[in-house]
């Protein structure tokens, strides 16, 4: 049961597009996709909306996506060809509570692809790719923490990416790792697809 994790330095850097692109490009792997979202204060993990519910009751939730409209990220995974798609929502610091359920899902899959950085604190995937966009100032703590575990870097390489906006962030942990330039809207380039295929399905 190979597990591929896709992380990144922030929101809106292309992680979901990479996941969907790889699912579409490698249909023979029969993916089960998971997206892990951490909700902020005052947001219910059960419904993903603002509420005043007790944290003890609504600190995490896992639901299977059935909608194929492509309007949500997990729906996009189904549209791309995933066999199944799951949305994991937790309050910050509560992912550990959802791990037993996540492990159950992973144990029943042929191949899993997980959109998350923080999951690396609980599982050791077969492959971890990190998506980095130099235009985005934010660099998540979780992305920095696990940067040295990245097997490859998917680096946004548009015309406005020559001067990274990150502060106090060192990329030394990934020096020498395979780096693939990505250009929206094609996040899962042929080179990335071939790299993943070779690593997860060696001939």
**Residue 105 pLDDT > 60:** yes
**Residue 54 pLDDT > 50:** no
Give the global pTM: 0.88
- Of 150, 138, 83, 137, the C-alpha closest to 112 is 83
pLDDT tens-digit series, residues 59-98: 899 999 998 888 899 999 999 999 999 999 998 889 999 9
Q: Looking at beta carbons, which pairs linking 180-184 to residues 24 or more positions away fall under 8 Å?
A: 180/152, 180/153, 180/154, 180/155, 181/155, 181/156, 181/157, 182/14, 182/18, 182/131, 182/154, 182/155, 182/156, 182/157, 183/156, 183/157, 183/158, 184/14, 184/17, 184/156, 184/158
- Mean pLDDT is lowest, of 45-54, 104-113, 125-134, for 45-54
**Residue 192 pLDDT > 90:** yes
Report DSSP state, residue 197: H
For all residues of the chain together, what is the average pLDDT? 87
Pure H helices in 117-176? 141-145
pLDDT tens-digit series, residues 135-190: 888 999 999 999 999 999 999 887 666 677 787 888 899 999 999 999 888 899 99
What kind and span of H or E run contains 77? helix 73-80
Per CATH, the number for 3-200 is: 3.40.50
Domain limits, the chain = 3-200
């Amino acid at each position: 049961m190979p597990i591929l994790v896709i992380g990144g330095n922030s929101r809106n850097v292309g992680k979901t597009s990479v996941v969907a692109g790889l699912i579409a490009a490698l249909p023979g792997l029969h993916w089960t996709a998971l997206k892990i979202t951490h909700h902020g204060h005052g947001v219910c993990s059960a419904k993903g909306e603002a509420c005043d519910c007790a944290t003890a009751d609504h600190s995490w939730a896992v639901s299977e996506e059935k909608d194929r409209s492509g309007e949500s990220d997990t729906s996009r995974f189904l549209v791309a060809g995933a066999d199944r798609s799951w949305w994991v929502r937790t309050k910050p610091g509560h992912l550990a509570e959802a791990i037993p359920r996540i492990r159950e899902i992973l144990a029943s899959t042929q191949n899993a692809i997980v959109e998350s950085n923080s999951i690396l604190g609980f599982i050791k995937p077969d492959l971890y790719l990190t998506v980095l966009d130099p235009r985005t100032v934010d660099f998540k703590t979780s992305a920095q923490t696990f940067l040295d575990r990245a097997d490859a870097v998917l680096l946004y390489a548009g015309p406005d990416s020559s001067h990274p906006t990150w502060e106090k962030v060192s990329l030394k942990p990934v020096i020498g790792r395979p780096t693939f330039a990505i250009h929206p809207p094609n996040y899962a380039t042929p080179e990335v697809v071939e790299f993943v295929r070779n690593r997860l399905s060696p001939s």
